[in-house]
A and B are shown apart, each in its own frame.
Chain A
Amino acid sequence: MKWAMIFGITILTALILWYELPKINQNQKKDKYVLIALSAMSWVLAVLLLFFPNMPGPTELVDQIYKPLGKLLE
């Protein structure tokens, strides 16, 4: 089941790249790298979330930082 999901995520990422890459001006190397890097980041995060759905996320991080202040409003 999870392997099928990984396959789906890969298809989705590939579709985005297949749609966007040809539209970028050939001279804009940086744009191309940014697009590929962002897609790779999404792919990695999606696969990580698939295997570890309870991975501590940004909300936990922010909650840790602001907990002393947040207690004032509890």
Chain B
Amino acid sequence: MIEKGKISAAQMALMMHPTIIATGILFVPSISAAKAGRDMWLSPIWGSFIGFLVVFIAYQLHKHFPNETIIEYSEHIVGRIPGKVIGLIYLLFYLHVNGIIIREYGEFLSGVFLMTTPESVIFGSMTLVCAFAVRGGLEVIARSAQLFIPIVVLLFLLIVFFLALDLAPTNMLPVFEEGITPSILGAAAPAAWFSEFLLIAFLLPYLTDKEKGLKWANLSVLSVVFILVITNVTALFLFGEITADLLYPVMSAGRYVRVAEFFTHLESIIMAIWILGTFIKISVFYYALVLGTAQWLKLSEYKFIVLPLGFLLVLFATWSAPNLTELKGFLGTSAVFYLLSVQLVLPSILLLIVVIQKKVIQKRSIQA
């Protein structure tokens, strides 16, 4: 195997948590609010069904091919050439999506704090840090997640706690004014984010305690639902329906904090949460891309393609969208179907083929 590192199932759950929420807490509340209005607090719960489904599919595929990632077993399932095509789809997909993530990070940082810094510097410095983590291997990413994520979650809950006095729960009334349809439509963006749980297909083969993989992956989905619901509830109670018009509701909430005239303007804490979370998020996607490329081309190791792929990622970040408004429009509409078709539909088709193949083989052996 190319990757010699081993991680525990709990570390995998800690890595996957920021992989969803890092950009999730910044972009998803306002995208959900645009569709769901006052019922936006329910949208992440609908979206989480996709998360559990993707975890289930990835785990079932993993049970059939315990020591392989999705790039390797797709070749075994559909044959060499179609398998290579599916592998290429995944590699291009992760290259593109990671480019978009780096772009989101750069747009946020340059829009809120570093207004005169050229974006290529912001993209490049973050990608370089992530490149060091990826070069270090799976264990390094897992350890940094273990170190940072408790801090991220604590700081996030601290912000919500400081805001508690300003929350107006009446903002959510009347509940279900137009039935549950708006909340389901608002779940489209969270569902697309939850489908990123397919990344566990790249981590499951390297677990030390494989039997706990499913349990911890589901716990990770639950923790993401918890944080996303808290985010949406806070944004809703604080801003009401104007959440849809805010670019970064959580950032605006951080500016709103005012406790005892001492804790004011906590946006730098939001920034710290965001940078730590995004670091893990980009690293996990970057790792999947690098490992997948090495397995797709059957290389002897993956370390030497980290830097060239990082260069490509920075280029894709600049190439991925002309400006932030168009990027956000894309994320709210076509990207939902893009993410779902690659991360949910394609693996389900693979799983279906595996199950049918096994059935046919069983039948034949009975007849013989």
What is the interface of chain A, defined by CB distance below 8 A to chain B? 12-13, 16, 19-20, 23-25, 28, 30-31, 34-35, 38-39, 41-42, 45-46, 49, 53-55, 57-59, 62-63, 65-67, 69-71, 73-74
Contact = CB atoms under 8 A, between A and B. Distances in A.
Interface in B295-338: 297-301, 303-305, 307-309, 311-312, 315-316, 318-322, 327, 330, 332-338
Contacts of B309: 38
A39 B306 CA distance: 11
Contacts of B307: 16, 19-20
Interface residues of B, number: 37
Nearest to A71: B333
B305 A42 contact: no
Interface of B: 35, 92, 96, 99-100, 185, 188, 297-301, 303-305, 307-309, 311-312, 315-316, 318-322, 327, 330, 332-338, 341
Given A30-B299, A62-B96, A70 B304 contact: no
Contact of A70 (B99, B298, B320, B336): B336
Contacts of A35: 304-305, 308
Contact of A62 (B299, B318, B334): B334
Nearest to A56: B319
Nearest to B34: A73
Contacts of B332: 73
Contact of A57 (B308, B320, B333): B320
B330 A63 contact: yes
Contacts of A54: 322
Candidate in B185, B319, B336 with the most chain A CB atoms within 10 angstroms: B319
21 contacts: A13-B311, A16-B307, A20-B307, A25-B300, A28-B300, A30-B298, A30-B299, A31-B304, A35-B305, A35-B308, A42-B315, A45-B319, A49-B318, A57-B316, A57-B320, A58-B320, A59-B96, A59-B327, A66-B334, A71-B333, A73-B35
Contacts of B299: 28, 30-31, 34
Contacts of B185: 73
A50 B211 CA distance: 50
Contacts of B327: 59
A61 B305 CA distance: 26
Contacts of A49: 315, 318-319
Nearest to B99: A58
Nearest to B342: A62
B319 A55 contact: yes
A73 B304 contact: no
Contacts of B338: 62, 65-66
A69 B333 CA distance: 8
A74 B331 CA distance: 11
B337 A69 contact: yes
A57 B319 contact: yes
Contacts of A30: 297-299
B333 A70 contact: yes
B312 A42 contact: yes
Contacts of B301: 31
A46 B319 CA distance: 10
Given A42-B312, A59-B330, 11 more contacts: A30-B297, A30-B299, A42-B315, A46-B315, A57-B320, A59-B327, A65-B338, A66-B335, A66-B337, A70-B337, A71-B333
A67 B320 contact: no
